[in-house]
Amino acid sequence: MGWIEYDRPPVNAFHWEMLREVPEALEQHLADPAVRVVVFASALDAHFSVGADLGVFLDMDADDMRRWVDVCHDLVRLMRASPKPLLAAVHGIAVGGGLEMVLHCDVRFAASTARLGQPEINIGFLPPVGATQALARLLGRPRALRYLYEGTLLGAEEAHAIGLVDVVVAAERLREEVQGYAAGLARKPARALAAIRRCITEGVDLPFEEGLAIERDEAVALAGTADFHEGLDAFLSRRPPAWSD
């Protein structure tokens, strides 16, 4: 697996360089055939991320903000188009853009002590890393609106209850749990994982019939792979499959 760990002490506040490094790191992992799963995490003990460095925002004009948001949205598109599973390991304080990025991951693990939120409303702003769109899909429109209107922090269990995170574990077991889950995914056929991810990620925003068309195309493509035939034979022979990829 490949790890993308925020590492700008003391609180992982994003400036221009750090913002640009995230898609660069993701592109490297996506291009590396040895990496089967990518995990977003933090290298700091107490903070996942506090989001953007507000000192950077102070010096921005409208054109600068457009460039900032364009970089954010390009990252969102890259994450959504990923053929590899994307996971998140969230601990400590997780707010703003650093948290917004992992809204586009497939499975979000959170330490039981994590505190999560989008406080942008409190500075007269909104979360621009695709969060308005991701949250409406993850939480539903009413919950997403209330969450962003209020701008308060949620505990991990409350975040889990509304669908913001998927798994809550003891803080000391977070990395172990994520590694174990990622290792399990890495043992599955990569082409089938990519097909499932595409069907759901793209299909959810399409009319039902268009989503079915993507599902059909992916099913037909998978039927021609060596892994599909290996999977069938292994299942019928009651033996473990030996995937080609």
pLDDT of residue 97: 96
- The pLDDT tens digits of the residues spanning 27-67 come to 999 999 999 999 999 999 999 999 999 999 998 999 999 99
Q: Are 110 and 156 in contact (CB under 8 A)?
A: yes
* Contact between 44 and 10 (Cβ < 8 Å): yes
Residue 223 has pLDDT above 90, yes or no: yes
pLDDT digits (tens, 9 = 90+) for 116-137: 999 999 999 999 999 999 999 9
Active site residue 120: yes
Residue 39 pairs in a beta bridge with 3, 87
**100 given a catalytic annotation:** yes
pLDDT tens per residue across span 175-191: 999 999 999 999 999 99
User: Whole-angstrom Cα distance, residue 52 to residue 118?
Assistant: 12
Q: What's the maximum distance between 2 C-alpha atoms anywhere in the chain?
A: 65
Average pLDDT over residues 143-163: 97
Q: What is the 3-state secondary structure (H, E, C) of 175-240?
A: HHHHHHHHHHHHCCCHHHHHHHHHHHHHHCCCCHHHHHHHHHHHHHHHHCCHHHHHHHHHHHHCCC
Instruction: Return the pLDDT at 216.
Output: 98
The topology under which CATH files domain 190-237 is: Lyase 2-enoyl-coa Hydratase; Chain  A, domain 2 (1.10.12)
The CATH H-level superfamily of 2-186 is 2-enoyl-CoA Hydratase; Chain A, domain 1 (3.90.226.10)
Q: How confident is the model at residue 20 (pLDDT cuts 50, 70, 90)?
A: very high
> Which of 120, 158, 202, 210 is the catalytic position?
120
**Interval 59-85: pLDDT, tens:** 899 999 999 999 999 999 999 999 999
Q: Do residues 159 and 112 touch, judged by C-beta distance below 8 A?
A: no
User: For residue range 2-19, what is the model confidence (pLDDT) as tens digits?
Assistant: 999 999 999 999 999 999
Calculate the CA dihedral of residues 61, 62, 63, 65 and round it to 10 degrees: 90
Can 2-186 and 190-237 be said to share one CATH topology?
A: no
pLDDT of residue 67: 97
- Reported as a single tens digit per residue, the pLDDT across 82-115 is 999 999 999 999 999 999 999 999 999 999 999 9
CA–CA gap between residue 128 and residue 111 (Å, rounded): 25
Annotated domain spans of the chain: 2-186, 190-237
For residue 245, pLDDT over 90 is answered with no
DSSP string, 73-133: HHHHHHHHT-SS-EEEEE-SEEEHHHHHHHTTSSEEEEETT-EEE--GGGGT---TTTHHH
Name the active-site residue from 17, 24, 100, 177.
100
